[in-house]
Structures are given as structure tokens and as C-alpha cells.
Chain A
């Protein structure tokens, strides 16, 4: 079966965006600067959702477009889905500004 496609927006990113429906166990091919990064999805990654390109420890920065899009609220393993269950935005957080309330 041909590898499923995902796109990386910047070479420093640690996530890529699925442009096909990806099933657990699927091989995923990500074009990066003339070569292709291959990894195996461990979970379903719907079209338009993000897949972790490497293990991301809890609290580490998640990067897309070469910029920070949030931090890992849980440890994320390579090939896993990255979304609101394990990625936490850090900007404009009124709940955090009030101190401790979450």
C-alpha cells in the first residue's frame, strides 16, 4: 500500500499535517527539502490534523510553520495524533492569568 501523505511547513517543525485520512499502522511519507521523511502512524490522523514527527516530552514546545503553536500537555510519542488533548495553547490564557485556575 502506498504511504499516506502529510506536509511539513518548516524544517524546524515537530509536527506535520495529514493531507489524507491516516489509519493506525499506516506508513506516512513527508517530503522535507528534497528527501522524504518516513514514519508509522500509531493512531488515526484525520485529514488536516497533525502527526508527531518525534517523541515530544510533556511541557516541550510544539512547532509548526517554524513557530510555537503551544506546548505538550502530555508526553506525545512519535506517530501520534497531536490536537487539543495533548497540545495546550499558551497565549491569551485568562484562566492562567488569574493564577492557578484551570
Chain B
């Protein structure tokens, strides 16, 4: 199969065509308020008081978002409080993004007549950049240019039975076509890590999967808490999940059956195609921006929802530049939030579709959205703030 995408100069293919303005702050916000077709990141953390490891993680996220194939060109401003650190200098971010072949402009209040001056220059630049980007036409390309990221959440037992298996089918299909597929949530593979390690492409990858779990489990134990008071979260338990292990074993179905090619850090792009495990945290305001920074051009939230039935989901995209899809297999969730759900696979539970049929339909939904059909969350202006996955203390 194939989809219609925007071919970039480095050969990567976008499913969208945005001008990105980073990092967050009044300059980025003002430009985006003024100019159509722009995107920015919304987060309260700019790296000030952060350790070198965490500053590098922030830089990796910002650079990765800039390099994402859904981005045509980028404006980087130098008015962030974190900009004095070597990792977060505007020129460094700009240079690493520009290495992908994109146009990158830098705004600096010190050179551009202050903050107001930088905003005015930024608006002028962004208008021309959006105009230039709009001249690019979608072209038909192969599925090897798809890069998906997934999380399952508000999980209930429909997630493991029908929701995640549909994602697994989609993942297998994309990986078989030569594409890239990312899954993660280290806490949610505790109890299922041996099953994943058996699918590692090499002993080193198997060891990296087990090591990620050991570190996370030791961290959990060090709290002295019964993990069940934290995870499974209350909505999981209300949805019928009884233990972290049960949640994990249901969760890994979304990774399909392909070999796992490697273990990546948060926001780290894979070096090759195929299926990758990302050592990240489950929070949806954290994980999707990380996938987008790793190069995902479509991201999926597989929703159980049994524990939050009755909620009409209207949350905006937390993936900054990657179209964000909601999928569920829970008939109650679907009935409550039909407007917000892009894909429903409860048909597998009532027997009206096989998992393969549902998976095929999911695949076609993803191809449509990759080709330009809006995801339900993209019909909203609302943007979720990003909770970057940073693990070290602040000083």
C-alpha cells in the first residue's frame, strides 16, 4: 500500500506540512497566534536548573521535533531562560535541525530590537515560510515512510482482548512493509519483559529490554510502596485489570509480533527501520511528543476507558506535529465519545469482525490520516501542554 505524503529533501516523508516555532514562550506563542499553519510546543520547563543529562534530553526533544518530517521549516528563538546552557543554545538547536536540509531561522531579541522586534521579524518570516511550504504537493509514497508511535491508556480488559491486538496487527503490517513502529511505557512491560525479550533481534537488545525493566522495578521498589496503589491506576482496576502484570501482558499486544530492533531513549530517533521499544513513561502528555521527536509521523492512543466511561473525550493533540488518533475497543467508551474516536475495534469482542479484519480497517484509517484526512483531535485548536520525560533532580 501507499499514502500521500510530503517528500523532504533528506528523503523522509511528512504526513503534515507545518512551520514549527521553538522553544515555548511569548515569541513562539505570538507568532503562532498570528500566522496560520504554524505549530509550537507548550511546556513550563525550559531547562533552567536542570542537569546536563536532562538538558540534553530537552534539546533532543526540540531538535527531534524540528527534524520531524511533518515540519517544513523551523524558527528557533533565543529568548528562553535555558538558552545560556551549551545544550540549549539557539544556534546549536538550529544547526542540528538544519542538518536535515530544512530552512531554519533564528530570532534573537538581543539582535532583533528586543522581544517585540523578534516577534515582528518572526511573524514576517513565518508568513513567508508557511507560504513557501504551501507550494509543496503531496506525492504517493510507500509505507516504508510511515513511522508510528503508540500508547495504550485508561486501559481495561478490552485493551488486551481487542484494542491492543488491532494495533498489533497494524504494527506488524507497517513493519513488514519496511516502516517504523515505536512502543514503550517501561512500567507497563513489568511482568511481560520475558515475552518481549524473546522477540529481540539480538542478545544485546534482549539485555537492554530486561535492563530497562530492572531499573524501573528497582526504582518502584525503592519507594517502599505497593505498586498497586500507583499502577495499575484506579481506572484500570475499575475496568477489570487486577495487577500490573495483567496490564503489561495486555499492553504488549500493541507491539505485534515483529522482532524488536532496539531500545531507544525518550525522543531518540531510531537509526534504522523496524519495531523499537522506547524506554519512556506512560503519561500521554509526555510520551507522544517524545515519539514525534523520534520521527513519528502518526501517533495512536489505544484507549480502554472502562474506568472512565461516560467521558466524551475532547482532548487536543499532545504530539505537537504528529497527527494524533484515538482508538478504542470498548463499546461503552465508543458510545460515549463517538465524536472523538478515530477507530473502533469492539467489533472483535462482539464477533462481527475478526482481529485481522479490524486490523485491516485500522490500517486503512491510518493511511487516510497519513494522507491528509484530519484526525478527530486535529479538528480542535486546543493544544495540550507537554510534560517532558526528565528524570534527574533540579537544583
Contacts and interface: CB of A to CB of B under 8 A. Distances in A.
Contacts of A48: 156-158, 239-240, 306, 330
Q: Which of A9, A65, A89, A90 has the most CB of B within 10 A?
A: A89
Interface string B222-243: 1111111000000001011011
Classify the interface of chain B: helix, strand, loop or mixed.
Answer: helix
A19 B330 CA distance: 10
Q: Which of B160, B195, B246, B250 has the most CB of A within 10 A?
A: B246
B225 A70 contact: no
A46 B241 CA distance: 12
Contacts of B330: 48
Nearest to B244: A89
B221 interface: yes
A7 interface: yes
Contact of B161 (A9, A67, A89, A90): A9
Contact of A17 (B222, B240, B243): B240
B227 A91 contact: yes
A2 interface: no
A94 B220 contact: yes
Interface stretch (A22-30, A32-40, A52-60, A79-87): A79-87
Interface string A13-24: 000010100000
B98 interface: no
A89 B249 contact: no
Contacts of B220: 92, 94
A17 B161 contact: yes
Given A7-B161, A48-B306, A93-B226, A82 B221 contact: no
B243 A94 contact: no
B245 interface: yes
B208 to A, nearest CB: 19
Interface in B178-226: 187, 190-192, 195, 216-217, 220-226
Contacts of A93: 221, 226-228
Given A7-B161, A69-B191, A93-B227, A83 B244 contact: no
A83 B158 CA distance: 15
A92 B224 contact: no
A19 B349 contact: yes
A67 B158 contact: no
B289 to A, nearest CB: 26
A7 B355 CA distance: 14
Contact of A89 (B192, B223, B228): B228
A89 B224 contact: no
Q: Which of A50, A69, A70, A82 has the most CB of B within 10 A?
A: A69
A93 B137 CA distance: 54
B157 A17 contact: yes
B240 A83 contact: yes
Interface in B113-158: 156-158
Q: Which of B216, B222, B239, B349 has the most CB of A within 10 A?
A: B349
Given A19-B161, A64-B249, A93-B227, A70 B242 contact: yes
19 contacts: A19-B161, A47-B240, A48-B156, A50-B157, A50-B242, A65-B249, A67-B195, A67-B249, A68-B191, A69-B245, A69-B249, A70-B246, A83-B237, A88-B243, A92-B187, A92-B217, A92-B244, A101-B224, A102-B226
Given A9-B160, A48-B240, A97-B221, 17 more contacts: A17-B157, A47-B306, A48-B306, A65-B160, A67-B195, A67-B245, A67-B249, A69-B249, A70-B243, A70-B245, A83-B237, A83-B240, A92-B187, A92-B216, A94-B225, A98-B224, A101-B224
Interface of B: 156-158, 160-161, 187, 190-192, 195, 216-217, 220-228, 237, 239-240, 242-246, 249-250, 306, 330, 349-350
